[in-house]
Amino acid sequence: MDNRPIGIFDSGLGGLTAVREILTILPREQVVYFGDTGRVPYGTRSRETIIKYARQDVEFLLSKNVKMVIAACGTVSSVARQISQQIPVLFTGVVEPTALAASLATHNQRVGVIGTTATIQSGSYRRALNALNLDIQVFEQDCPLFVPLVEHGFADPEDPVAKLVAERYLAPLKQHNIDTLIMGCTHYPILREVIGNVMGKGVTLIDSGRETACYAAEILRRQNALCPDGQRSDCAFYVSDRVEGFSKAASVFLGQNVGTNVQYIDINAFVPDDGVRIEK
């Protein structure tokens, strides 16, 4: 058993989808969450910048003595994959767990993937799906406006802006007759109703946050690293920009008041030693 917390990071609010699922699946676990709200979004950045940000995010979580790091960010999971071999604790991103769920869900072997521009350009989901099943046809679409919509509160299924953007992005995927759609960014499940209404009932939506949380829980069980019985400590939330806006959104999303548990940090103060923990 291991009573250290689970570390989760993302560029902003999206990783809270994984936090919510972890707290549901593993109610005794404590979570340390870092949302890089000062540098959101990651998906439009260069590969070098994404790697730099990911290195700093991981180093911060390691400073909190976490037993596992979850990169609840499709962009980092796609672009900075080498991190998994270069840190001293358990690690998972979102790509492999989500691709596995999609491969099991599809009936017609036609799977759509939506994600940030960096995620789609990396081809990470296509490779992961084809590694599982070469018969799966993959159709990809980047949706760069989805993250700003979520971060600025345009997620209501009746919001005309959200509906218009979703219809524009998803129209090509509808023409490909997909029966399964990977929401390849953890922000996107917050738009689940909007996306589902556009795609229709015949398309199964795969939630990267939920699938990653389930996968992480299984890893912890196999490694005998779950928290022992007892009362869970309060989760801690850290951001790299204003606390107030994040606190309000997180409280609504998680269904609990997190205001007093959110702190600002200077993420630029966390620079890993090259060759020791994370190599570029």
Q: Indicate which residues carry an active-site annotation.
A: 73, 185
Hey, what are 8's tokens?
A: 């989760």
Own/partner pairs, 59-63, CB within 8 angstroms, 24+ separation: 59/270, 59/271, 59/272, 59/277, 59/278, 60/9, 60/34, 60/238, 60/265, 60/267, 60/270, 61/7, 61/8, 61/9, 61/32, 61/34, 62/7, 62/87, 62/88, 62/89, 62/277, 63/270
- The widest CA-to-CA distance across the chain, in whole angstroms, is 51
* Measured CA angle at 201 (ends 196, 202), to 5 deg: 115
**H/E element, 91:** strand 90-92
Which one-letter DSSP state was computed for residue 26? -
The number of CA neighbours under 13 Å toward the Cβ of 12 is 23
The Cα 72–Cα 75 span in angstroms is 9
Residues forming beta bridges with residue 182, ordered by sequence position: 113, 206
Helix axes 124-132, 95-105, angle to 10 degrees: 50
In DSSP terms, 14 is beta-bridged to none
